């Protein structure tokens, strides 16, 4: 028997994928480096300077306002994201189930939704900061950023529910409320997860942008703006890298979670 | 004139005894009228059912006039050309659809909504994918507020009855089509419905699985003495399973004929009586086919 190398085995595929990812990152940094050299301005630091600043930030915390660690900055941002997300979730869920189930409600509210949805959440930031104070403004921006993708996903999900499942439940004696809790709600779960996935991505964009309007100590967004005001662009870039990584981790986590949930619910919506 | 031939068990072999006119022609077949055996208890009665669907720009009369007495312990099948309103009739019987006119009585009470006295088995199974086999079978009891322990015990009994005891904790997507439909049947049986309504329950299965399921259904039917209304596309299946075949015309449908099948089970598909009757019904259906 001749041993042959199988190009379809999973280790081979994994190795190829890893190699491509590493190459992609290296070339990304290379392009950044060239751009920084060509620009030759302190506003665009080289990757080396940025990562050096990032290491400092991780080790010693904020170089200007002593005592503020990177972790406390991240925590402040995550807290706001969590609040905005929680608020969006507890409002979008009942509203979405209602609009998905009742045509009259849906027809009444759809102009509202279609009008509000295309507005970039960031556009609300300066208004919300005044309306809800600098502390709560960013939370509300996150809320509005997550609310709409979540809502539209839930409405879509409820309408996609297999009507024969509802029929089956009715012939087994289920009341309207039991159909709601035991059939409609579980059926909508994978769609809710999908909404959460898109919502969290938008949420990170919102939180950073909204924090730029802050005038007091706040999360990573505020830190970036503060560093730019101090002309410490390398530290500002360190903050940007942190945001990138956090966003990546959040959507990755949501993706994993939604996959697990879809499997658990026995539904594949992709 | 009824077709009154029947199979008699005779030393393991079937002999056919004809008690009716030997040469039944096309005419007498078509002029047979239904004579209800009034001694039997009627669990469900359908009076002049008429169903009209209203869509945006027109209306479709799906069922023109449908009346039927469903007697206890009978397996009645409904056969008719595609699109003649079989599913519509069954959904009315289940209470999932309100007829335009006419009424449906269950144990002499008018029924207007679904209830667990009428169980339904669906062509595409309609199982809850987020529940395990056992949780699916338990659904009706859970709805009725039966306690967890009792629920589980009874569910396992019914899962065993349909031969799925090894799969009680499996997820639905891990099952084959035939296994899924057995879950569907167990889920209905556990509620002890007075009537079981089945809409082409084996339509989505391959021929071999279908035959196995037919045998199993007969076994369940004979053991539990259930009343079953069975919709099928297959004349063969109808003749093999049922005590009575209701033959519908094309849409808007009326009952063309009700045929009592007195043959004992298990039936022999190769028997000349069987094949003759099948041919007659198939010929009728071919004439009713809107496409043909
Ligand atoms: N919801 C509906 N709205 C409008 N028309 C409908 C609706 N459901 C069924 N119909 C029409 O009513 C007629 C009967 O439909 P039904 O599904 O009862 O037929 P069927 O006998 O079960 O057909 P098949 O053998 O193909 O399953 C068809 O002409 C169909 O187009
Ligand atoms: Mg049908």
State the nearest Cα–Cα gap between A186 and chain B, in angstroms.
7
* B253-258 long-range contacts, CB within 8 A, separation 24+: B253/B62, B253/B63, B253/B64, B253/B66, B253/B80, B253/B84, B253/B85, B254/B64, B254/B65, B254/B66, B255/B65, B255/B66, B255/B67, B255/B68, B256/B80, B256/B284, B257/B30, B257/B32, B257/B34, B258/B34, B258/B68
Give the model's pLDDT for residue A217: 65
Give the model's pLDDT for residue A190: 87
Nearest atom (ligand 1) to Cα of B123: 27
CATH number for the domain whose boundaries are B72-98+109-117+194-292: 3.40.50.300
Mutating which of A161, A168, A183, A187 best tests the B interface, going by the most B Cβ atoms within 10 A?
A168
Q: Which residue from A minimizes the CA distance to B126? A: A165
What is the CATH topology of the domain spanning A44-264?
A: MetI-like fold (1.10.3720)
State the nearest Cα–Cα gap between A183 and chain B, in angstroms.
8
Pocket of ligand 1 (CB under 6 A): B 53, 55, 60, 62, 80, 82-88, 251
Give the model's pLDDT for residue A64: 75
Per the DSSP assignment, residues forming a β-bridge with B227 are B195
- In chain B, CATH 3.40.50.300 sits at 72-98+109-117+194-292
Give the model's pLDDT for residue A3: 66
Local confidence pLDDT in tens for the 270 residues of chain A: 566 767 677 788 888 889 998 999 899 999 999 999 998 888 889 889 899 989 988 888 877 776 788 888 899 889 989 999 999 999 999 899 889 888 899 999 999 999 988 888 888 888 888 898 877 888 999 999 999 999 999 999 888 888 999 999 999 999 999 998 999 888 888 888 888 888 888 888 888 888 887 666 678 888 888 888 888 898 899 999 998 888 888 888 888 888 888 888 876 655
Q: What is the DSSP secondary-structure string of A66-93?
A: TT--HHHHHHHHHHHHHHHHHHHHHHHH
Give the model's pLDDT for residue A188: 87
Does the beta-carbon distance from A171 to B118 stay under 8 Å? Answer: yes
* Mean pLDDT, rounded, of chain B: 84
Does the beta-carbon distance from B128 to A164 stay under 8 Å? Answer: no
**Cβ within 8 Å of residue B278, ≥6 positions away:** B235, B236, B239
Domain ranges in chain A? Answer: 1-40, 44-264
**Cβ within 8 Å of residue A77, ≥6 positions away:** A207, A208, A211, A218, A219, A220, A221, A246
Q: Does ipTM top 0.85?
A: no
Give the model's pLDDT for residue B169: 93
Ligand 2 midpoint to CA B250 (Å): 13
- A88, A154 contact by CB (below 8 A): no
pTM for this entry: 0.78
Q: What is the DSSP secondary-structure string of A212-251?
A: TT--SS-SHHHHHHHHHHTT-HHHHHHHHHHHHHHHHHHH
Q: Which residue from B minimizes the CA distance to A166? A: B126
Nearest C-alpha neighbor of A154 from the set A82, A116, A98 = A98
Q: Which residues of chain B have pLDDT under 70?
A: 1-39, 290-292
H runs (alpha helix) in A117-184 = 125-131, 133-160, 163-171, 176-179
Kindly list the residues from chain A whose CB atom is less than 8 angstroms away from the CB atom of residue B173: 266
Give the model's pLDDT for residue A215: 64
Q: Which residue from B minimizes the CA distance to A167? A: B96
């Amino acid at each position: 028997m001749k041993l042959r190398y199988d190009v379809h085995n999973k280790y081979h595929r994994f190795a190829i994928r890893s190699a491509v990812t590493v190459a992609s990152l290296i070339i990304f940094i290379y392009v950044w480096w060239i751009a920084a050299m060509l620009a030759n301005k302190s506003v665009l630091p080289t990757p080396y300077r940025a990562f050096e600043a990032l290491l400092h930030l991780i080790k010693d915390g904020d170089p200007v306002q002593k005592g503020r660690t990177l972790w406390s900055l991240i925590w402040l941002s995550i807290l706001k994201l969590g609040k905005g997300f929680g608020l969006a979730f507890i409002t979008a869920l009942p509203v979405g189930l209602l609009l998905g189930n009742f045509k009259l409600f849906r027809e009444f509210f759809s102009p509202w939704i279609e009008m509000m949805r295309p507005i970039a959440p960031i556009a609300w930031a300066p208004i919300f900061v005044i309306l809800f104070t600098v502390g709560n403004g960013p939370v509300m921006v996150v809320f509005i950023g997550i609310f709409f993708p979540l809502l539209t996903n839930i409405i879509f999900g409820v309408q996609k529910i297999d009507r024969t499942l509802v029929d089956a439940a009715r012939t087994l004696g289920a009341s309207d409320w039991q159909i709601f809790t035991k059939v409609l709600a579980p059926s909508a779960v994978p769609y809710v997860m999908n909404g959460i996935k898109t919502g969290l991505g938008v949420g990170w964009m919102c939180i950073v942008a909204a924090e730029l309007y802050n005038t007091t100590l706040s999360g990573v967004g505020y830190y970036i703006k503060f560093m730019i005001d101090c002309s410490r662009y390398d530290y500002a870039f360190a903050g940007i890298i942190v945001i990138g990584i956090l966003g990546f981790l959040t959507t990755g986590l949501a993706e994993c979670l939604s996959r697990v949930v879809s499997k658990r619910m026995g539904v594949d919506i992709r | 004139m009824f077709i009154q031939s029947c199979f008699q068990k005779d030393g393991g072999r079937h002999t056919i005894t004809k008690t009716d006119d030997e040469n039944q022609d096309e005419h007498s077949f078509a002029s047979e009228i239904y004579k209800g055996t009034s001694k039997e208890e009627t669990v469900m009665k359908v009076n002049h059912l008429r169903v009209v669907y209203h869509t945006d720009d027109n209306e479709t009369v799906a069922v023109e006039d449908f009346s039927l007495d469903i007697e206890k312990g009978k397996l009645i099948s409904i056969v008719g050309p595609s699109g003649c309103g079989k599913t519509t009739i069954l959904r009315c019987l289940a209470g999932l659809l309100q007829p335009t006119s006419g009424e449906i009585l269950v144990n002499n009470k008018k029924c207007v909504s679904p209830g667990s006295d009428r169980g339904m088995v669906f062509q595409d199974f309609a199982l809850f994918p987020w529940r395990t086999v056992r949780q699916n079978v338990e659904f009706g009891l859970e709805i009725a507020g039966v306690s967890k322990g009792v629920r589980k015990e009874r569910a396992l009994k019914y899962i065993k009855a349909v031969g799925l005891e090894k799969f009680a904790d499996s997820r639905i997507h891990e099952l084959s089509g035939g296994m899924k439909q057995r879950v569907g049947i167990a889920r209905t049986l556990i509620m002890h419905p007075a009537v079981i309504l089945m809409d082409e329950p084996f339509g989505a299965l391959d021929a071999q699985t279908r035959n196995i399921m037919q045998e199993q259904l007969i076994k369940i039917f004979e053991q539990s003495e259930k009343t079953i209304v069975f919709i099928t596309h297959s004349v063969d299946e109808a003749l093999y399973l049922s005590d009575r075949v209701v033959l519908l015309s094309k849409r808007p449908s009326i009952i063309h004929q009700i045929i009592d099948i007195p043959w004992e089970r298990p039936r022999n598909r190769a028997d000349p009586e069987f094949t003759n009757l099948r041919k007659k019904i198939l010929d009728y259906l071919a004439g009713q086919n809107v496409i043909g």
